[in-house]
Amino acid sequence: MADRKTCPKFDQIMQDTTTNKQINSPTTAAAALRLFFHDCLVEGCDASVLISSRPFSKAERDADINLSLPGDGFDVVVRAKTALELACPGVVSCADILAVATRNLVTMMGGPFYTVKLGRRDGLVSRASRVEGNLPRPTMSMNQLISIFSSRGFSIQEMVALTGAHTIGFSHCKEFSSEIYNYSRTSQYDPSFNPRYAEGLRSACADYHRNPSLSVFNDVMTPRNFDNAYYQNLPKGLGVLKSDRALVMDPRTKPYVELYARDQKVFFEAFGRAMEKLGLYGVKSGRRGEIRRRCDSFN
């Protein structure tokens, strides 16, 4: 297990790696956050999402919903792993690296600092077939979304706090194209959008058929700051994804959106606590896991 004794340079190496990567690729923070989330909700926080597929086994990262995970998230983990293997070989798991990198990057973007406990082991299973239905999709109903979280022991309030991760990063146009083009016979776009915002999205995404990588910021106001603007945007109809806009329309989630929109300090505390809890979900120890030599393949 990694700790300050077995790898004294751990914190320094993690800090250097995440800082350099974020400065060179400003989308890294959002990429790592999404990668961590997609890792933890399937099999627990065990770096199973980092495994590459092999000829007869399709790994998690090749499941449909994970194909859009940005490369910067994978890359920051690999860079840290390479540096750590030189400093203290065989000590630090890829799962611990992903958890700490995510926290460092959130903090770099102005978000809260929270504690990351160490000692995760890397999982021994990564199957694409286990992904679908275990990760939230923007098209899911609120009941489906709540059940994904509650089945793992997360409250509705924790779900709303974790969704605040959408204060950074972006969404691909193809994820929401059906809500801004030919939405219904009476409206081009979903009426839950702010009309001017919908028009802006329609022009930003106009070429998405030819250019599938086209994307827009999740938080149109302060896309590069980790803050509570995401929640302030929602009542104004400025949520990109259907699941974002739904948070302010459902009586179970709306009070928390309003609370976090009013008070950034309360949001930061709730987000930090929820991330600490998420980071402990389904963690492997002992012989149920290993310390991978490379993050993309089992030993």
Q: What are phi and psi of 57, to 5 degrees?
A: -140, 115
Q: Is 190 annotated as a binding residue?
A: no
209 is catalytic: no
H helix intervals, 59-194? 71-87, 94-108, 142-150, 156-163, 173-180
Strand-pair partners of 57? 54
Q: Is 11 annotated as a binding residue?
A: no
Give one DSSP letter per residue of 33-92, joined into a string.
HHHHHHHHTTTSSSSGGGPPPBTTB--GGGSGGGTTS-HHHHHHHHHHHHHHHHHSTTTS
Identity of the amino acid at 125: V
Is residue 172 within 8 A of residue 241, CB to CB? The reply is no
The single residue of 34, 38, 79, 242 carrying the catalytic annotation is 38
Is residue 98 within 8 A of residue 17, CB to CB? The reply is no
Question: Using CA atoms in the order 205, 207, 213, 218, what is the torsion angle rounded to 10 degrees?
Answer: -10
Give one DSSP letter per residue of 1-14, joined into a string.
---TTT-TTHHHHH
Identity of the amino acid at 199: E
Q: Is 27 annotated as a binding residue?
A: no
Q: Is 219 annotated as a binding residue?
A: yes
Q: Is 222 annotated as a binding residue?
A: yes
Please give the Cα distance from 22 to 45 (Å, whole number).
22
Contacts of 287 (CB under 8 A, 6+ apart): none
Q: Is 207 annotated as a binding residue?
A: no
Residue 45 tokens read as: 């926080």
Q: Is 46 annotated as a binding residue?
A: yes
Q: Is 166 annotated as a binding residue?
A: yes
Is residue 67 within 8 A of residue 212, CB to CB? The reply is no
Q: Is 43 annotated as a binding residue?
A: no
**Known binding site: residues?**
39, 42, 44, 46, 48, 60, 136, 166-167, 219, 222, 227
**Known binding site for Ca(2+): residues?**
39, 42, 44, 46, 48, 60, 167, 219, 222, 227
**Known binding site for substrate: residues?**
136
Active site residues: 38
**Known binding site for heme b: residues?**
166
